[in-house]
Amino acid sequence: MIQGLEKPKASEDKVTFYCDRTWEQFKYLQKGLEGSPGVRLFFYEGVVEVLMPGQLHEIFKRVISSLLDAFFLPFNINVTPTGSVTQEQEGVAAAQADDSFCFGDVKPIPDLSIEVIFTSGSIAKLKRYQALGVPEVWFWEDGLFTLHRLGENGYIRIDKSQIPQLEQLDIALLSRCVLVGETDWLAAVRTFREEIENDASTR
């Protein structure tokens, strides 16, 4: 069992990096942390990242998940929420996003991964997801979503999701409601549901 990881303050993330590590060492660390709920692990190019999310991180994660769940039902979207499932490319990369989804069939690598970011390093995170082959990645950072779609030469920024089931999703509305949800989850979900149900009824 790995010992010595200090718990973060309630509002803060704690991120620890271990450099020059092999895949085997990463898997050993992963096994040692199996009994540590909430801890998420990442690996790419010999760097192991250990994330212990703080309270605010988890609030935003949960609000985003709730709002997306509210979107799927009125539009009858066939989705499998895969949460923070470990995404791996053996010997190359591994990640545990804050949330992830498969549309249609369940796949080893989800169609969409979402991360809440309170630290820098989004470019490095994209390289990791590129190695995994995740088709679309969203980052929630500084009160905004940035969406990235995997192409032949890496990720490109997009204004709205290119996943067919999410093309009707209003990202600006989603962002506003996430910000409301930081302090009032019920108001955020209620407002979002009213907006999308009105939209769905007019289609």
pLDDT digits (tens, 9 = 90+) for 168-194: 999 999 999 999 999 999 999 999 999
In this model, does residue 201 exceed pLDDT 80? no
In this model, does residue 34 exceed pLDDT 90? no
Closest by CA position to 112, among listed 126, 99, 125: 99
Q: How far apart are CA 52 and CA 16, in angstroms?
A: 9
- Provide the pLDDT for residue 197: 83
Q: Using an 8 Å Cβ cutoff, are 41 and 50 in contact?
A: yes
Which has more pLDDT, 121 or 137? 137
Closest by CA position to 43, among listed 97, 108, 94: 94
Which has more pLDDT, 202 or 72? 72
All structural domains of the chain, each given as residue ranges with its CATH number in brackets, are 54-201 (3.90.1570.10)
Q: How far apart are CA 159 and CA 111, in angstroms?
A: 17
What pTM was computed for the model? 0.90
In this model, does residue 5 exceed pLDDT 60? no
Q: How far apart are CA 194 and CA 114, in angstroms?
A: 24
Strand order in the sheet with 144-151: 79-81, 99-103, 112-116, 136-141, 144-151, 154-158
Q: How far apart are CA 107 and CA 101, in angstroms?
A: 9
Q: What average pLDDT does this structure show over 125-151?
A: 96
In this model, does residue 1 exceed pLDDT 90? no
Q: What average pLDDT does this structure show over 101-105?
A: 95
